[in-house]
Amino acid sequence: MEKTWWKESVVYQIYPRSFNDSDGDGIGDIPGIIEKLDYLKELGIDVIWLSPVYKSPNDDNGYDISDYYDIMDDFGTMEDWERLLDEIHTRGMKLIMDLVVNHSSDEHEWFQQAKKSKDNPYRDYYIWREGIDGREPNNWKSTFSGSAWEYNEATGDYYLHIFSKKQPDLNWENPELRQDVYKMMKWWLDKGVDGFRMDVINFISKVPGLPDAPNPNGEPYVSGSRYFKHGPRIHEFLQEMNEEVLAHYDVMTVGEMPGVDVEEAKKYTHYERNELQMVFQFEHMDLDSGPNGKWDLKPLDLRDLKESISRWQNGLHDIGWNSLYLNNHDQPRVVSRFGHDQEYRVESAKMLATFLHMLQGTPYIYQGEEIGMTNVHFEDIEDYQDIEIRNMYKEKVVEGNADHDQVMESIYTKGRDNARTPFQWNDQEHAGFTTGEPWIKVNPNYTNINAEKATADPDSIFHYYRQLIQLRKQHPIIVYGDYELILPEHEQIYAYIRHYEGEKLLVITNFGEEPVDFSLPEEIEFEPQERLIGNYADDQSHPGSLTLKPYEARVYKGK
């Protein structure tokens, strides 16, 4: 297996609006990030992934870009960004940027031109269709509710927007559009960025004709994802992007790909296909969703998680590479989701970190994960800022007859704003995030959960993450070893073994709040040599037979 820097790295995602505000306007900014780079260096981070900071009217928190070559006023200036890049590189870290090219903002100059007339030179940069019988061109539903089509008065037809109506989809069938995207990517890479995280990149190829989606229940609009996820030209487009741009730089690439499975991921990440290095897949993020999707809550069955993770670990081994994550800007806080954010917050946060960082792949830490930040419960729907939350609430409660309390419980559990409350730096007003009024309320538990307290406590979640990152740099088996699941049917224990060059690593985690007995299966040969890490005080218990405390994690190295 080829050894590379991006396999050996640990990535930290910054959501800039919520990270650190330097000027008191209540919005995190680039100078605020610079102020905290030494904190990230202390943690041991190799790569910073910066969520979008481009010029944007901010309809979808910066994922609606109006100018790919400029910085959003809220975040600072291009000079600020250049200083950020320099400060990151000075500390021996790298920076990857978000690449959002499935859609632009409707305020982008391309779209402003395209909507004027049917013969405008930029018309074909977007996807337009005539209406049918006074309705939209097809029955596709927007990700943010309602139709995926918006009527344009000036030209008397509709444009496609899989997301917000202010996020028109770009037409990747147009070679001129693709060349403009590649030109922009080169511009950023020439400025010194170290790679891209590509937003919903598997949506860029649509099935010709854009047919209606099956609609057995006769709903007004339904998901058309089967016609734009992994479309017919997606691999062609990514190979072209690689040939024209990525192959000329030593960069890291990860493609966000809702709906991707292992077999499709093998194509995207195969070392010989020259597309991407990693994908973000969501299979394990959907295991606590019922048949009606994200907001339909159900408890996690640990056996489902084992089956999913194992499929990806084994499926991509020696073929491609896994990304490893449990949190990001679109997901609730994992300690509230798969752990215990009250009595066992510290123990379960450490256990979940152990489980993830000992797998094969590149680990991603989302801001606040390393101090055990939790989900938030705002009582008033008006306190939520996320367009997805607001649209869902309006559709289900205001316009429908859904129960307010039940919908709010779904928001408390799964809402994206759980990840977007301001970073909790200290126990001062607004958690030290800003001297002004924050753009979204701070989680009230900041007086107890904050970075200042965590960095001062040698037994904190923060310092446990530091240890995990250091171990990764000291032991190649953590990066490159293969994976073997043990006890697949156990409902509370997730345990696995890594193998590499004659060494073995045994990882044992208890996903429950009850003590549980663990014994190695008879057929497993493992001779422990040292205990690398554990989230409870060390003892000399042999890993062959022991009792795990609530949310306990142990890692042994042996042969």
Amino acid at 343: E
Amino acid at 113: Q
SS (H, E, C) 216-254: CCCCCCECCHHHCCCCCCHHHHHHHHHHHCHHHCCCEEE
Strands (E), 72-186: 94-99, 128-129, 149-152, 157-160
Residues 367 and 176: their CA atoms lie apart, in Å, by 37
38 touches 503 (CB < 8 A):
no
CB atoms within 10 A of CB 128: 19
Residues 309 and 244: their CA atoms lie apart, in Å, by 34
Residues 505 and 480: their CA atoms lie apart, in Å, by 11
Cβ-Cβ contacts under 8 Å for 56 (sequence gap 6 or more) = 62, 63, 64, 65, 66, 72, 105
Residues 406 and 412: their CA atoms lie apart, in Å, by 10
- Set 256, 347, 369, 370: catalytic member: 256
| Chain position carrying tokens 């070559």 | 69
Say whether 38 is catalytic: no
Nearest to 112 by CA among 102, 99, 126: 126
Residues 51 and 538: their CA atoms lie apart, in Å, by 39
Cα distances from 26 to residues 16, 17, 313, 421, in angstroms, run 12, 9, 41, 12
- Set 74, 199, 330, 417: catalytic member: 199
Among the residues of 319-399, which ranges form H helices? 334-337, 345-357, 387-393
Strand 362-366, strand 11-14: pairing? parallel
Q: Three-class SS of residue 385?
A: coil
Nearest to 452 by CA among 423, 424, 426, 422: 426
The torsion angles phi and psi of 255, rounded to 5 degrees, stand at: -105, 120
Residues 139 and 439: their CA atoms lie apart, in Å, by 35
In eight-state DSSP terms, residue 177 is H
Nearest to 300 by CA among 285, 310, 313, 314: 285
Structure-block tokens of residue 431 = 């958690």
Q: What angle do CA 92, 96, 101 make, to 5 degrees?
A: 170
Please classify residue 248 by burial: count the beta carbons closer than 10 Å to its beta carbon, then call 0-12 exposed, 13-18 middle and 19+ buried: exposed
Say whether 199 is catalytic: yes
Residues 527 and 544: their CA atoms lie apart, in Å, by 9
Cα distances from 14 to residues 47, 74, 211, 413, in angstroms, run 11, 15, 38, 22
Enzyme catalytic residues: 199, 256
